[in-house]
Amino acid sequence: MSEATEQRPRERLPLPGLSALATAGFLTILTEALPAGLLSSIGADLMVSEAMVGQLVTAYALGSLVAAIPLTAATRRWRRRSLLMLAVGGFLVTNAVTAVSHSYVLTLAARFVAGVFAGLVWALLAGYAGRMSPESLRGRAIAVAMVGTPLALAIGIPAGTLLGGVIGWRAVFLIMSVSSLLLVGWIAWLVPDFPGQADARRGGLKAVLALPGLKTILAVTLAFVLAHNVLYTYVAPLLQRAGLADRVDAALLLFGVVALGGIWVVGAQVDRRLGTLTRASIVLFAAAALVLGVFGARPGLVLAAIAVWGAAFGGAATLFQAASARVAGEATDVAQSMIVTVWNLAIAGGGVIGGLILREQGPEGLPWSVVALLAAAGLLAVLGRRAGFRN
């Protein structure tokens, strides 16, 4: 009894440090997506079209896509806290440049560099959360570290968009820049430091990719996130089909709020039921897509499907990162950089594929492509239940 009592404090999550990691994720998503909510004001200020402003988001995603793997591999020997502080500090500079720049080209370049830092942040978060926490709670720790993503989508971006309309978009980016500085101090104060990986051979890209189950995890991540972005990127045409064209903001808020519930459920159970939760998320998402495909003109059912979709997607990042961390062990950061790369590839691919489907088949064709992608993801998750997606 006394031994169990002595061990109990060590089984608690280090919430102050994990909250700092979650804030880093929140800031990363907010920096990425906020221009989408401020298209008109940024375009008018920089004297470019809204479509050109949209490329600021694309540049950010490309920075993460091209830099995550090589940069993580190149820095795998570095002390973890210094590297995390450097990555978060990058937002201090890039958001400040974005705030003061009057050149579209300079702003685009700053956004690309911000994406580079974002790729490094995402590659670090899951492994860092796992190392900070007891082994039995690592999945839950990753869930806490990932909660910044749905919070940014549900609260941060709408609030930032509203604030930008009041004080101007440049002031919002300056606020994010100052927030980065404060977060660096938070990390230095409450986040423990860890050494990098001393054995470079064990952290090599080929060696990590060859780990049993990792390729399956990456393939499922690609299919699932690609399906998500096919719908999320073109949610406005889907809602227009149901007569909800003027309720896009409310629908996305519903999605984000329910996603928070999804990440809570996953966080509570991921350490014991990772594989089951992954397959359940795929099935729920596929069911939502089927409803959108069959009943896409009925507003009530469309909103219900969006809620189910949000519940399925909320914990997805936690599930895929926890699975890769479990498989990769000490090489978690390199494996996470692969997840980041696949994730951003799916973001870009979702926009392209969804656009082609929208042009050829209209919004009613989008859900059926998602069903096909999720069928492939589900099959891979079942086949991988003994490796990457075991319970």
DSSP string, 230-268: HHHHTHHHHHHHTT-GGGHHHHHHHHHHHHHHHHHHHHH
Which conformational region is residue 13 in: left (phi greater than 0), alpha (psi within -120 to 50 degrees), or beta? Answer: beta
- Burial tier of 58 (Cβ tally within 10 Å: 0-12, 13-18, 19+): middle
pLDDT of amino acid 4: 45
Q: Is 10-196 assigned to CATH 1.10.10.10?
A: no
Rounded CA gap, 268 and 266, in Å?
5
Pick the CATH number of 201-391 from 3.40.50.300, 3.30.750.24, 1.20.1250.20, 3.40.50.2300: 1.20.1250.20
Q: What is the mean pLDDT of each run of 10 residues along the chain (391 residues)?
A: 47 89 94 83 88 82 88 88 96 97 96 94 88 84 85 82 89 96 96 78 72 91 93 83 82 85 86 91 96 93 95 90 84 84 84 83 91 95 81 73
Rounded CA gap, 288 and 306, in Å?
7
Task: Indicate yes or no: pTM above 0.85.
Answer: no
DSSP string, 125-192: HHHHHHHHS-GGGHHHHHHHHHTHHHHIIIIIHHHHHHHHHHH-HHHHHHHHHHHHHHHHHHHHHHSP
Rounded CA gap, 206 and 154, in Å?
37
| Number of residues that make up the chain | 391
The answer to whether 107 and 45 are in contact (CB under 8 A) is no
Which residue intervals of the chain bear CATH 1.20.1250.20?
10-196, 201-391
Rounded CA gap, 231 and 226, in Å?
9
Tokens standing for 109? 């370049």
pLDDT of amino acid 264: 86
